[in-house]
Amino acid sequence: MKPMIHTSACILLAAVTASVSGIALSDSVEEKYQRACHVCHATGVANAPKVHDPEAWKPRLDKGMDALVESIKNGLNAMPPGGMCADCTDEDYKALIKYMSTPKG
Protein backbone atom coordinates (compact mmCIF):
# COMPACT_ATOMS: atom_id res chain seq x y z
CA MET A 1 0.00 0.00 0.00
CA LYS A 2 2.65 2.49 1.02
CA PRO A 3 4.58 2.67 -2.29
CA MET A 4 1.35 3.35 -4.14
CA ILE A 5 0.50 6.39 -2.03
CA HIS A 6 3.98 7.70 -2.60
CA THR A 7 3.64 7.34 -6.36
CA SER A 8 0.32 9.12 -6.59
CA ALA A 9 1.64 11.98 -4.47
CA CYS A 10 4.52 12.37 -6.91
CA ILE A 11 2.18 12.43 -9.91
CA LEU A 12 0.02 15.03 -8.22
CA LEU A 13 3.03 17.21 -7.46
CA ALA A 14 4.27 16.90 -11.05
CA ALA A 15 0.85 17.90 -12.38
CA VAL A 16 0.72 20.98 -10.14
CA THR A 17 4.23 22.04 -11.13
CA ALA A 18 3.43 21.59 -14.82
CA SER A 19 0.28 23.70 -14.67
CA VAL A 20 2.01 26.49 -12.75
CA SER A 21 4.86 26.77 -15.26
CA GLY A 22 2.29 26.59 -18.09
CA ILE A 23 0.71 29.79 -16.81
CA ALA A 24 4.07 31.53 -16.56
CA LEU A 25 4.92 30.68 -20.16
CA SER A 26 1.71 31.85 -21.83
CA ASP A 27 -0.32 34.32 -19.82
CA SER A 28 -3.81 34.92 -21.08
CA VAL A 29 -4.86 38.44 -22.05
CA GLU A 30 -6.63 38.83 -18.75
CA GLU A 31 -3.56 37.75 -16.80
CA LYS A 32 -1.39 40.22 -18.69
CA TYR A 33 -3.95 42.95 -18.08
CA GLN A 34 -4.00 42.16 -14.37
CA ARG A 35 -0.22 42.08 -14.15
CA ALA A 36 0.61 45.19 -16.19
CA CYS A 37 -2.26 47.49 -17.13
CA HIS A 38 -4.68 47.07 -14.24
CA VAL A 39 -2.77 49.30 -11.84
CA CYS A 40 -3.66 52.40 -13.90
CA HIS A 41 -6.51 51.40 -16.20
CA ALA A 42 -8.74 49.95 -13.45
CA THR A 43 -9.51 53.35 -11.96
CA GLY A 44 -8.36 55.68 -14.73
CA VAL A 45 -5.27 57.06 -13.03
CA ALA A 46 -4.04 60.30 -14.64
CA ASN A 47 -6.70 60.24 -17.37
CA ALA A 48 -6.09 56.63 -18.39
CA PRO A 49 -9.13 55.28 -20.30
CA LYS A 50 -10.90 52.92 -17.90
CA VAL A 51 -11.16 49.19 -18.42
CA HIS A 52 -14.48 47.89 -19.84
CA ASP A 53 -15.61 51.47 -20.52
CA PRO A 54 -16.30 51.74 -24.27
CA GLU A 55 -17.15 55.47 -23.96
CA ALA A 56 -13.73 56.25 -22.53
CA TRP A 57 -12.08 54.21 -25.26
CA LYS A 58 -14.00 55.54 -28.23
CA PRO A 59 -11.82 58.60 -28.94
CA ARG A 60 -8.73 56.43 -28.46
CA LEU A 61 -9.93 53.73 -30.87
CA ASP A 62 -10.60 56.41 -33.49
CA LYS A 63 -6.81 56.83 -33.76
CA GLY A 64 -6.57 53.27 -35.12
CA MET A 65 -5.17 50.13 -33.58
CA ASP A 66 -1.62 50.60 -34.87
CA ALA A 67 -1.40 54.14 -33.48
CA LEU A 68 -2.54 52.89 -30.08
CA VAL A 69 0.03 50.11 -30.08
CA GLU A 70 2.70 52.75 -30.89
CA SER A 71 1.42 54.90 -27.98
CA ILE A 72 1.92 52.01 -25.60
CA LYS A 73 5.36 51.09 -26.92
CA ASN A 74 6.59 54.70 -26.83
CA GLY A 75 4.69 55.67 -23.70
CA LEU A 76 2.13 58.48 -23.53
CA ASN A 77 2.19 61.18 -20.84
CA ALA A 78 1.75 59.29 -17.53
CA MET A 79 1.90 55.87 -19.23
CA PRO A 80 5.43 54.47 -19.20
CA PRO A 81 6.83 52.94 -22.44
CA GLY A 82 5.48 49.40 -22.79
CA GLY A 83 2.73 50.00 -20.24
CA MET A 84 4.76 48.08 -17.67
CA CYS A 85 4.48 44.83 -19.65
CA ALA A 86 7.97 43.51 -20.23
CA ASP A 87 6.96 40.55 -22.39
CA CYS A 88 4.01 41.87 -24.42
CA THR A 89 4.11 41.57 -28.21
CA ASP A 90 2.20 43.84 -30.61
CA GLU A 91 -0.46 41.13 -30.78
CA ASP A 92 -0.73 41.14 -26.99
CA TYR A 93 -1.19 44.92 -26.97
CA LYS A 94 -3.94 44.67 -29.58
CA ALA A 95 -5.68 41.97 -27.55
CA LEU A 96 -5.31 44.08 -24.39
CA ILE A 97 -6.80 47.14 -26.12
CA LYS A 98 -9.77 45.03 -27.26
CA TYR A 99 -10.11 43.59 -23.77
CA MET A 100 -10.09 47.01 -22.11
CA SER A 101 -12.31 48.76 -24.63
CA THR A 102 -15.20 46.28 -24.55
CA PRO A 103 -17.77 45.87 -21.77
CA LYS A 104 -17.09 43.11 -19.27
CA GLY A 105 -18.56 39.94 -20.71
Size of the site for ligand HEC (CB under 6 A): 27
User: What is the secondary structure of 23-53 as a DSSP string?
Assistant: HHHS--HHHHIIIIIHHHHTTTGGGPPPTT-
**Residue 51 lies near ligand HEC (rule: CB under 6 A):** no
Which of 13, 63, 64, 66 is the binder for ligand HEC (CB under 6 A)? 63
| Nearest distance from C-beta of residue 99 to ligand HEC, angstroms | 8
Q: Torsion angle, CA of 57/61/63/68, rounded to 10 degrees?
A: 90
Query: Quick one: which segment of 4-12, 17-25, 69-77 binds ligand HEC (CB under 6 A)?
Result: 69-77
State the angle between helix axes of 54-61 and 65-74 in degrees (0 to 180), rounded to the nearest 10.
100
**Residues forming the site for ligand HEC (CB under 6 A):** 36-37, 39-41, 45-49, 60, 63, 68, 71-72, 76-80, 83-85, 88, 93, 96-97
